[in-house]
């Protein structure tokens, strides 16, 4: 298709179709857009569609969203990925995008702004030097609608600095901006302040101007977040006077009429408090105005109401006070008992009650309530800010703060005891305050790691918490208290004695059946967290402890899930499915008696959610649960594999037929796991043999998310039946897949992962005929498109071939023969120009061992030592091997180096089972084990372990074993080594 064919009309129609409620129509539109985005100049009409007011709001928004995702996928450039976006298209985008940001509505600005941020992160300032001058040149003295678009664009570019690590490139970028932007910024800042005064009675003008001031404050923070620039230090007095002015500014004309939504003035004040916190943290010596702001913020906090529109101002103001309180330099400002009492009475306590909006959310959208709490999106809430302020006071005044807060806790508990039905909110506040005053330090994975020694958390559990957990039916009028009680156990799980947790677990398990979704979800979270908890390196609840609770827990969860009336409702609660996964993992092989029923339930859930996948996290935990169930059931009874295959294969077939793209990577991984169970039988089952040809079809491999999972599945095929595949001529199509993968910079490491399995598991005589074409493909890629990743992978692969049949040096002979068949003497050139230099770049313990062993075998071989072209290379090879062994700093794994979630390119031992170890699963955190929206590696599956020299314990041992018999013939080369390497090799030979 030509560029001109990609018309706005065709794009608009397809984008409109992506909004269709019909899944098939959406899929067709997405496939069409995916195909045409590969064409040149696709992005130009897409941007024109965003700017075209006649297109309709929905189409313009869909175009903006698609453009943002297009930029995410296609704009970043790296050595290890092909650049599929032309230079002309890149320039066209940069030429138009600033003007677009200025003219489109705010809803579209947010989408385009993210794209600007990605482009600037990659291109600015080197490939986009005109960005700042363009922004400055478009600033207007009169049109603040235009200015707001420019300021929003500038903030979009600069805000990435807030979370960036310090680097020379970052500081170069910031200084580049400061040099071109600050004068214009100051002028707009001063003018905006003046115009606000002039239009004090004009609500419409003030709305625009205050929004400008808010953006100016955001940019002020951006430009100061890494260091205090001289420009801002020199002008700090003027800026701070203006900030103080608007911190106390009040104007009925701009007062927000909606108590639930922050107005422009509230956003300005919140942004100013954010700046004050930054300066108090980072620039306290220069920030001489701090005491004045402490007094102002204190007074502001005591006068602001409880309306939700003030929430952000209040939380950021308290964050500023937190920073000041934690600084010992200002301790005297808060040391008096009266001051501490006033802070708690007037600032902390008024902000600890559950907001009405949260009570409504608890009832109306329970899962959103849970997610906000669990995933930390409540971090900016009043409650969170109040808890943080209590923590800051504890840092400086532990006993005094504990005493003051304890008085309020006792007051609220007494009120609750007097009338539990009417005063349940008082106990909710009391429980919140207990957590605030008790937790000194915490991490997500463990809960509280250090507690206030003046608070007995175990005694409080027995006197105030357990009463809400004994009876599932209690607190019917106040389920919030049940949620609070469960959260208490989760928070203090690492501090509560084992006997308390043993008492709590059955009660928590019973609450999995609670009718309130928040309570059931918190119970699932609590069960999951307790089952992964360790003491002294051992799980607190062993499989035998879990076994009697596993059946009722699973029954409760499945009963809740059974109540869902649609695939979307079924998949909405990922916490329940994560608990299922953890129960199976914790029960280990004790799950076997429950496996048939659990498999039937999980399979039914899979069949239902496959109709319309809507929650990636639920799906991931579902497949993890299936993988764990298959793993432990088949470990306990190898005959269980038949039931898994009979139950899952029809569902898998439907997923493949219906082209459920989201589930295919999981499906291939589960197949790999099930196939691995047949290892003991020796040979590929017929069902898998018939499945192989469809798995090799290019359409499956065109989806990037499928590639790691398909490679992992082919590795299992090779592990089980490489000889069978070779004898039936099915190795050639697999090598065709390898050829496709190594042609891509993005996927070449997956190609080598597959190639290593082919080399490891295929009989040497069957492999020999393919080695020449394999090496030819690799050498062609090295010559035409070499990258550091590809070179590293090729060095490791060459070493792995050299390790084949180490005792007979079979691999050395095969490798030399193949290289000489391509071109006599080519190996010497390759060694001298590429391989020797790249040897130290190989990463990973087993990978580096393979390199040391493989190249040691090569260098002592008669083929090497008898050829004049190779002899001079002996010393350089030995030097690199010595340097690799002396370098103890290389601990990074290959998977980390390649940022890949593929099965890994060959770590550990070929004979090992292809599963994660029990120790890995004990503390498995899905969020950190490779979970992504596009491809998620099943942590319970593990890797195909490939070690080409498993008989050698470590690299140093291998070097000594191999070089020692050839000591005499290597003597001259050893003498040529630098003293440190010479000493290392000599010591190794004599050890």
With both helix axes pointing from N to C terminus, report the angle between 366-374 and 517-531 in degrees, rounded to the nearest 10.
40
- How high is the pLDDT of residue 918? 61
8 Å CB contact between 940 and 628: yes
8 Å CB contact between 840 and 883: yes
Calpha distance 545→586 (Å, rounded): 9
Mean pLDDT within 408-419: 98
Find all residues with CB under 8 Å of 558, minimum gap 6, and list them: 601
Among residues 887, 897, 893, 858, the alpha carbon closest in space to that of 956 is found at 887
Calpha distance 67→120 (Å, rounded): 15
Q: How many CB atoms lie within 10 A of CB 570?
A: 22
pLDDT, one tens digit per residue, over 591-616 is 999 999 999 999 999 999 999 999 99
Task: Please report, to the nearest 10 degrees, the dihedral formed by the alpha carbons of residues 490, 496, 497, 501 taken in order.
Answer: -20
Among residues 667, 663, 571, 563, the alpha carbon closest in space to that of 615 is found at 571
DSSP assignment of 74-91 equals HS--BTTB---S-HHHHH
Q: Which of 513-522, 630-639, 647-656 has the lowest mean pLDDT?
A: 630-639
Calpha distance 339→767 (Å, rounded): 81
DSSP code for 546? H
How many residues in total does the chain contain? 991
- How high is the pLDDT of residue 990? 86
Calpha distance 623→605 (Å, rounded): 11
Give the HSE-up count for residue 541: Cα atoms under 13 Å, Cβ half-sphere: 30
Task: Please report, to the nearest 10 degrees, the dihedral formed by the alpha carbons of residues 730, 735, 740, 742 taken in order.
Answer: 160
Decide which of 898 and 357 is more confident: 357
pLDDT, one tens digit per residue, over 187-201 is 999 999 999 999 999
DSSP run (H or E) holding 442: strand 439-443
Place 680 in a pLDDT band, splitting at 50, 70 and 90: low
Calpha distance 966→971 (Å, rounded): 9
Three-state DSSP at 937 gives coil
Give the HSE-up count for residue 742: Cα atoms under 13 Å, Cβ half-sphere: 28
Among residues 588, 948, 962, 595, the alpha carbon closest in space to that of 796 is found at 948
The rounded mean pLDDT for the chain is 91
Place 555 in a pLDDT band, splitting at 50, 70 and 90: very high
Place 2 in a pLDDT band, splitting at 50, 70 and 90: very low
- How high is the pLDDT of residue 914? 43
Is the pLDDT at 68 greater than 60, yes or no? yes
Handedness of CA 421, 426, 432, 435 (dihedral sign): negative
Looking only at the bridges linking them, the beta strands covering 534-535 and 447-451 are: unpaired
Is the pLDDT at 895 greater than 50, yes or no? no
pLDDT, one tens digit per residue, over 933-991 is 457 889 888 777 789 999 999 999 999 999 999 999 999 999 999 999 999 999 999 87
- How high is the pLDDT of residue 84? 81
Calpha distance 386→319 (Å, rounded): 9
Decide which of 141 and 238 is more confident: 238
Handedness of CA 722, 723, 725, 729 (dihedral sign): positive
Q: How many CB atoms lie within 10 A of CB 19?
A: 13
Calpha distance 170→293 (Å, rounded): 31
Calpha distance 802→810 (Å, rounded): 8
Decide which of 29 and 650 is more confident: 650
Calpha distance 299→316 (Å, rounded): 14
Three-state DSSP at 492 gives coil
Three-state DSSP at 449 gives strand
Calpha distance 394→952 (Å, rounded): 56
For residue 125, cis peptide bond before it (omega within 30 degrees of 0): yes
Mean pLDDT within 278-298: 96
DSSP run (H or E) holding 360: helix 356-364
| Helix%, strand%, coil% for the chain, nearest 5 | 75, 0, 25
Among residues 932, 926, 942, the alpha carbon closest in space to that of 662 is found at 932
With both helix axes pointing from N to C terminus, report the angle between 664-677 and 640-657 in degrees, rounded to the nearest 10.
150
Mean pLDDT within 167-179: 95
Instruction: Compute CA distances 893 → 845, 896, 939, 947, whole Å.
Output: 8, 5, 16, 15
547, with CB counted inside 10 A (0-12, 13-18, 19+), is middle
- How high is the pLDDT of residue 936? 82
Mean pLDDT within 101-124: 91
Helices (H), 375-456: 382-396, 398-418, 424-438
Instruction: Compute CA distances 664 → 267, 744, 934, whole Å.
Output: 45, 21, 11
Among residues 861, 874, 761, 867, the alpha carbon closest in space to that of 808 is found at 861
pLDDT, one tens digit per residue, over 735-785 is 999 999 999 999 999 999 999 999 999 999 999 999 999 999 999 999 999
957, with CB counted inside 10 A (0-12, 13-18, 19+), is middle
Find all residues with CB under 8 Å of 504, minimum gap 6, and list them: 461, 466, 469, 489, 496, 530
Share of the chain above pLDDT 90, in %: 81
Give CB contacts under 8 A, 24+ apart, made by 414-421. Answer: 420/478, 421/477, 421/478
8 Å CB contact between 936 and 930: yes
Place 516 in a pLDDT band, splitting at 50, 70 and 90: very high
Is the pLDDT at 533 greater than 70, yes or no? yes
Calpha distance 902→708 (Å, rounded): 5
Query: What is the SS3 assignment for 758-819?
Result: HHHHCCHHHHHHHHHHHHHHHHHHHHHCCCHHHHHHHHHHHHHHHCCCHHHCHHHHHHHHHH
Calpha distance 351→665 (Å, rounded): 47
- How high is the pLDDT of residue 943? 78
Find all residues with CB under 8 Å of 697, minimum gap 6, and list them: none
Find all residues with CB under 8 Å of 114, minimum gap 6, and list them: 68, 71, 156
Exposure string for 679-716, b = 16+ CB within 10 A, e = fewer:
eeeeebbeebbebbeebeeeebbebebbbbbbbbbbbb
Decide which of 705 and 31 is more confident: 705
8 Å CB contact between 592 and 636: yes
Give the HSE-up count for residue 404: Cα atoms under 13 Å, Cβ half-sphere: 21
- How high is the pLDDT of residue 31? 84
Calpha distance 668→707 (Å, rounded): 10
Decide which of 488 and 676 is more confident: 488
- How high is the pLDDT of residue 10? 84
Decide which of 422 and 5 is more confident: 422
- How high is the pLDDT of residue 402? 97
Beta bridge partners of 951: none
pLDDT, one tens digit per residue, over 896-937 is 444 433 333 333 223 333 445 665 566 566 554 444 445 788
Is the pLDDT at 688 greater than 60, yes or no? yes
Beta bridge partners of 535: 538
Give the HSE-up count for residue 907: Cα atoms under 13 Å, Cβ half-sphere: 17
């Amino acid at each position: 298709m030509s560029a001109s064919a990609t018309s706005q009309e065709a794009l608009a129609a397809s984008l409109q179709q992506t909004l269709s409620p019909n899944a098939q129509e959406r899929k067709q539109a997405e496939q069409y857009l995916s195909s045409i985005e590969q064409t040149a100049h696709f992005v130009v009409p897409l941007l024109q569609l965003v700017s075209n007011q006649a297109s309709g709001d929905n189409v313009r928004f869909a175009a903006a969203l698609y453009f943002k995702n297009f930029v995410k996928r296609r704009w970043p450039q790296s050595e290890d990925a092909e650049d599929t976006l032309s230079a002309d298209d890149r320039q066209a985008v940069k030429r138009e995008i600033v003007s677009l940001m200025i003219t489109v509505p705010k809803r579209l600005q947010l989408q385009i702004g993210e794209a600007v941020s990605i482009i600037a992160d990659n291109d600015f300032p080197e490939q986009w030097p005109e960005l700042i001058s363009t922004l400055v040149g478009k600033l207007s003295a009169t049109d603040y609608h235009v200015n707001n678009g420019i300021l929003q664009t500038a903030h979009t570019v600069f805000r990435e600095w807030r979370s960036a690590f310090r680097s020379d490139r970052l500081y170069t970028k910031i200084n580049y901006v400061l040099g071109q932007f600050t004068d214009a910024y100051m002028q707009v800042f001063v003018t905006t302040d003046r115009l606000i005064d002039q239009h004090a009675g004009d609500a419409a003008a003030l709305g625009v101007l205050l929004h400008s001031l808010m953006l100016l404050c955001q940019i002020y923070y951006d430009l100061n977040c890494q260091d205090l620039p001289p420009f801002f230090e020199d002008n700090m007095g003027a800026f701070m006077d203006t900030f103080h002015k608007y911190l106390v500014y009040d104007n009925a004309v701009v007062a927000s009429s909606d108590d639930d939504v922050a107005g422009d003035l509230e956003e300005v004040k919140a942004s100013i408090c954010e700046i004050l916190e930054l300066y108090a943290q980072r620039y306290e010596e220069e920030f001489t105005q701090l005491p004045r702001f402490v007094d102002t913020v204190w007074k502001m906090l005591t006068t602001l109401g409880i309306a939700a529109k003030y929430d952000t101002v209040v939380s950021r103001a308290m964050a500023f006070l937190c920073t000041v309180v934690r600084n010992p330099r200002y301790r005297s400002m808060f040391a008096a008992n009266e001051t501490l009492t006033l802070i708690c009475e007037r600032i902390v306590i008024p902000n600890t009650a559950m907001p009405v909006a949260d009570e409504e959310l608890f009832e109306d959208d329970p899962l959103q309530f849970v997610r906000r709490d669990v995933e930390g999106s409540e971090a900016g809430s009043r409650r969170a800010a109040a808890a943080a302020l209590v923590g800051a006071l504890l840092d400086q005044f532990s006993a005094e703060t504990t005493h003051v807060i304890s008085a309020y806790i006792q007051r609220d508990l007494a009120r609750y005891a007097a009338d539990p039905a009417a005063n349940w909110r008082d106990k909710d506040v009391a429980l919140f305050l207990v957590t605030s005053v008790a937790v000194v330090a915490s991490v997500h994975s463990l809960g509280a790691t250090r507690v206030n020694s003046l608070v007995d958390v175990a005694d409080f559990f027995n006197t105030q918490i357990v009463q809400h957990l004994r009876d599932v039916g209690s607190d019917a009028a106040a389920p919030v208290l049940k949620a609070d009680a469960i959260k208490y156990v989760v928070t203090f799980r690492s501090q509560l004695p084992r006997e308390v947790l043993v008492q709590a677990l059955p009660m928590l398990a019973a609450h999995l059946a609670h009718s309130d979704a928040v309570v059931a979800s918190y119970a699932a979270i609590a069960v999951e967290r307790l089952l992964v908890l360790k003491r002294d390196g051992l799980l607190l609840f062993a499989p035998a402890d879990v076994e009697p609770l596993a059946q009722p827990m699973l029954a409760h969860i499945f009963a809740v899930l059974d109540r869902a009336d649609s695939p979307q409702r079924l998949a909405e609660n990922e916490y329940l499915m994560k608990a299922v996964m953890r129960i199976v993992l914790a029960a280990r092989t004790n799950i076997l008696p429950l496996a048939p029923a659990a498999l039937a339930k999980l399979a039914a859930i899979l069949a239902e959610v496959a109709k319309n996948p809507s929650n990636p996290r639920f799906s991931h935990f579902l497949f993890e649960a299936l993988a764990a169930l298959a793993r432990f059931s088949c470990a306990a009874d190898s005959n269980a594999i038949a039931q898994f295959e009979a139950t899952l294969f029809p569902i898998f077939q439907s997923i493949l037929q219906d082209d459920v793209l989201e589930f295919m990577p999981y499906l291939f991984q589960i197949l790999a796991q099930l196939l691995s169970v047949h290892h003991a039988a020796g040979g590929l089952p017929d069902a898998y043999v018939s499945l192989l040809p469809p798995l090799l079809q290019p359409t499956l491999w065109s989806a990037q998310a499928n590639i790691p999972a398909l490679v992992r599945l082919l590795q299992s095929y090779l592990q089980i039946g490489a000889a069978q595949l070779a004898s039936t001529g099915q190795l050639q199509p697999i090598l065709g897949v390898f050829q496709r993968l190594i042609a891509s910079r993005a996927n070449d490491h997956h190609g080598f992962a597959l190639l290593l399995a082919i080399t490891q598991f295929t009989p040497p005589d069957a492999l020999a005929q393919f080695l020449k074409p394999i090496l030819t493909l690799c050498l062609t890629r090295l010559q035409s498109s070499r990258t550091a990743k590809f070179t590293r992978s090729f060095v490791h692969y060459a070493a792995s071939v050299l390790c084949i049949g180490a005792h007979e040096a079979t691999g050395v002979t095969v490798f030399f023969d193949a290289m000489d068949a391509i071109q006599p003497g080519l190996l010497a050139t390759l060694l001298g120009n590429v391989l020797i230099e790249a040897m130290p770049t190989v990463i990973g313990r087993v990978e580096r061992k393979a390199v040391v062993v493989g190249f040691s075998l090569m260098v002592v071989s008669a083929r090497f030592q008898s050829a004049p072209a190779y002899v001079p290379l002996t010393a350089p090879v030995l030097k690199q091997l010595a340097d690799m062994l002396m370098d103890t700093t290389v601990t990074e794994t290959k998977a980390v180096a390649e940022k890949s979630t593929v099965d890994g390119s060959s770590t550990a031992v070929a004979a090992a089972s292809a599963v994660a170890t029990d120790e890995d699963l004990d503390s498995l955190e899905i969020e950190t084990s490779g979970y992504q929206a596009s491809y998620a590696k099943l942590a319970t599956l593990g890797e195909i372990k490939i070690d080409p020299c498993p008989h050698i314990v470590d690299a140093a041992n291998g070097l000594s074993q191999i070089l020692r018999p050839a000591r005499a013939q290597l003597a001259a080369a050893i003498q040529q080594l630098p003293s440190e390497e010479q000493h290392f090799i000599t010591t190794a030979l004599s050890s």
